[in-house]
Structure 1
């Protein structure tokens, strides 16, 4: 964590109360004469959280210093580099709160003074240590900042290590939208959580996602390295619909037909080579795609204007070599083949996250890839939430 100089020289943290000044009294013995009474301790009592000598203190909670029967005069919380951690006093000068996250595996030192209602000074000094992760895990968010995406685009959080405490991680995820949108998080694996709307996004929705994951214990001593955020926009409403026996790919804008292209889809007779049923999304746009597949006897096969629609191997792309079957017969190995001019026109219109709805095939898309969001019904999707 970046540690900056404090704005206000006031205070350290956590749950320890300290009285400075002796607190014993007694009488002299032997002679029977009364002895001197020790000074009264100051009335002001200082507490801090984390307490002095605390171990494994959290890094994602503010440090607080409080006083009763007095006011805080000086609060310093110093990091290992000797720099003060910034924080603020309340108006009554009875509480100080840090305003910057702490660093992992570091020692912080308190130097606190308070003026008591009895005009005596109380002090708190000492140090505490923050939690030291066994491993710092990186989290990433997709879509990226400022992206414009299609109406089926999911939000995806991925981790570089398995997440055991999924509920705690999910509580740190927040989605804000400029339009009312019902949606939910679902864990698609122990390293990935996706958020998708119940129905396709409303066009032109602005989306703000925050994953305040820093300091979250993922389990097994793994902690997230840093918070991540993203802001992106949903574009126009465009949906592709393909009923494979029809040999036609139709493009809809706002539920009205916008374009229609003859196509050749996966072979009808072989379910392993069908263009499988399901709601898929455009995942990549590649001006030239490599479709080599030695398993089926072809190598160094390059096709233009390729839009990937699954991690199962399906694309929408030009295939002039299959020109005679386009619009007439399904002869591909699963891809949607178009004439080159049509493939270019569609490619230019497509956004990452556009839905592609396929029906009419003998086979359905398997739910084995990391982009299966729209292959699950809403009830099943909700069941994958950790909270």
Structure 2
């Protein structure tokens, strides 16, 4: 019996040893081949990519999360102010809703939670480009103005524009009455480039016009970029045309197809080409109740009343009592259109920026050398060739 019990005890101890050995062997296997650690499911991507530099401030900016949703997301500037943006209904895409600034570093902040319930940070940076020079532009027609039927739209830049095609692609003109027209680049003036939009024919009266220039972020070339967008909405007024035939010694005013005034006038002295009133379509650009007129060459320095500028070469329609005896009978002026004081005041009161003044009968034509607005001296085909596109 004692022998039997001893054998059973040995068997029991051996069994425990086997179990213990097996258990120890299992723990050793787990230590050698641990269970894999899974990465969070949510992935955040950025446009532009994290770490990007020289980003155009008008470029599309967004953050997107896949296999998850944003808990919080923001893009902040160097001062900590948040950029305006919109978050999709699913909270998976954030998109900027305003342009950024030049030469700034922007930082993404926030968190996103994946479909596995694990959270990941929203954390990245990028930098916008820093232009060598920012160039301003100015529109010639302000919001709410009423202008004449020959009015060109002008944008004057404060510096030279090399990449004119890039700028022109950023410009648009819309009108309540379909109007064919085109942009044309004129020679630089006042140290900067300038571009005009001219309709093929005179504007239709009553047309509402909106010009938009999305210039911010546009590369002008030579390290220059646009500093701000421009826009304006204005109205074309009544159709008033001045007919100025120098050989008739008269100046007539046609309004909406009907003659409303016929004034005796004196034009530039025909015997002196430098004093000829230029033939061609002039455009009213400015008005002065009193205008000082000076010429060293011809030795005069006078103050004239009711002066309406029609070109930048010194041509005005204005009152001049000194030439009263010639008005209606001969041409004696230095190139201006002289009227009596009463008639000049009557015309002055009706004149709008953009009214055409059609001068005929002289051998000298209005041209680019005569200054700002000579758009209508070109044929439509010639004008279209001034476009950069």
Q: Tell me the TM-score normalised to structure 2 length.
A: 0.88
- Counterpart Cα distance in 1 of 2:156 and 2:110: 42
- Counterpart Cα distance in 2 of 1:219 and 1:284: 33
The equivalent residue for 1:306 is 307
Does residue 154 (structure 1) correspond to residue 156 (structure 2)? The answer is: no
Match of 1:45 among 36, 43, 48: 43
The equivalent residue for 2:247 is 245
Decide whether the 8 Å contact of 1:214 with 1:224 is kept in 2: yes
SS in 1 for 2:278: coil
Gaps of 5+ in 2: 1-27
Match of 1:254 among 253, 256, 265: 256
Match of 2:79 among 38, 59, 81: 81
Decide whether the 8 Å contact of 1:62 with 1:99 is kept in 2: no
* Mapping 1:57-96, distance limit 5 Å: 57-96=55-94
Measured after TM superposition, the shift of residue 31 of structure 1 is 8.5
Match of 2:109 among 108, 111, 118: 111
Count of aligned pairs? 357
The equivalent residue for 1:183 is 181
- Counterpart Cα distance in 2 of 1:128 and 1:284: 48
Q: Which of 219-228 and 355-364 deviates more?
A: 219-228
- Counterpart Cα distance in 1 of 2:296 and 2:232: 40
Decide whether the 8 Å contact of 1:62 with 1:100 is kept in 2: no
The equivalent residue for 2:224 is 222
Decide whether the 8 Å contact of 2:54 with 2:130 is kept in 1: yes
Kindly name which structure, 1 or 2, has the bigger radius of gyration based on alpha carbons. Answer: 2
Does residue 133 (structure 1) correspond to residue 141 (structure 2)? The answer is: no
* Mapping 1:291-370, distance limit 5 Å: 291-299=293-301, 301-368=302-369, 369-370=371-372
CA RMSD of aligned residues (A): 1.6
- Counterpart Cα distance in 2 of 1:178 and 1:291: 40
Decide whether the 8 Å contact of 1:110 with 1:125 is kept in 2: yes
- Counterpart Cα distance in 2 of 1:384 and 1:73: 54
Does residue 165 (structure 1) correspond to residue 167 (structure 2)? The answer is: no
Decide whether the 8 Å contact of 2:240 with 2:256 is kept in 1: yes
- Counterpart Cα distance in 2 of 1:365 and 1:122: 70
- Counterpart Cα distance in 1 of 2:224 and 2:322: 52
- Counterpart Cα distance in 2 of 1:62 and 1:285: 46
SS in 1 for 2:32: coil
CA deviations 1:274-293 (Å, max 9, x no partner) are 11111011111111111221
SS in 2 for 1:296: coil
Decide whether the 8 Å contact of 2:171 with 2:212 is kept in 1: yes
- Counterpart Cα distance in 1 of 2:335 and 2:56: 51
**Which has the larger helix fraction?**
2
Measured after TM superposition, the shift of residue 72 of structure 1 is 2.2
- Counterpart Cα distance in 1 of 2:46 and 2:140: 39
Measured after TM superposition, the shift of residue 114 of structure 1 is 2.3
CA deviations 1:31-84 (Å, max 9, x no partner) are 996332441112322211121111011111231111222222221111111111
The equivalent residue for 2:384 is 382
Decide whether the 8 Å contact of 1:186 with 1:195 is kept in 2: yes
Q: Tell me the TM-score normalised to structure 1 length.
A: 0.89
- Counterpart Cα distance in 1 of 2:95 and 2:174: 28
Q: Which of 311-320 and 181-190 deviates more?
A: 181-190
